[in-house]
Copies of this chain bind each other. A is one copy, B any other.
């Protein structure tokens, strides 16, 4: 099943995505079994980030080729970081490049686990069962800021720097898929989604030794490859079996 959140009359409404329609739901499918209140057409739906987490976990160095490219050493244990909700934006919404950003401005295509159960001290199997479904993230990064600043506050968390969507897919073997990054329709990277140092369940086992993870929390799994993006471009992240997350890039001040 595919679940999304769409904007209806300015309100965020959960939806179940069908062939041509999105069925509007009475509540979150993560929390219960909502009923159908109506439908909107899928081709005109306004997509929101499919969930707004209480805690937004993100993995940095997790694909061997990316670690090699970064000149870093392979982590010997799964350590997690954070991103911020203000930066979330939905499928088809613009990534706004701040006017002050100089140097490399890049897309990072990532698999995202959406948690469905409260877990603490989880076993690998409990971690596996705690995942409600999978979506796609683009960890947009301004590299000059990333290297200048003490934290990732603006390099990775400026408004619109975290496109997520288009929906949560509950029925997919997420680690057996292919992640593809396209710029203006051209493939810029493609890699096996599951070619990770530590998989999402390894991370959840480690995190929940000390932390309670809650329904709706998200875990972004890192990228193997990146590509530069500029205003005027359209960047797409596809994960087979899940979908395509597509966002135009605009320059701050030039938004339509």
Contact = CB atoms under 8 A, between A and B. Distances in A.
A79 B150 CA distance: 7
A181 interface: no
A7 interface: no
Contacts of A64: none
A211 interface: yes
* Copies in the assembly, this chain: 2
Interface stretch (A38-46, A52-60, A224-232, A238-246): A52-60
A89 to B, nearest CB: 11
A192 interface: no
A34 interface: no
Given A54-B52, A79-B151, A157 B211 contact: yes
A6 interface: no
Given A82-B84, A84-B55, A60 B150 contact: yes
Given A159-B210, A159-B212, A86 B55 contact: yes
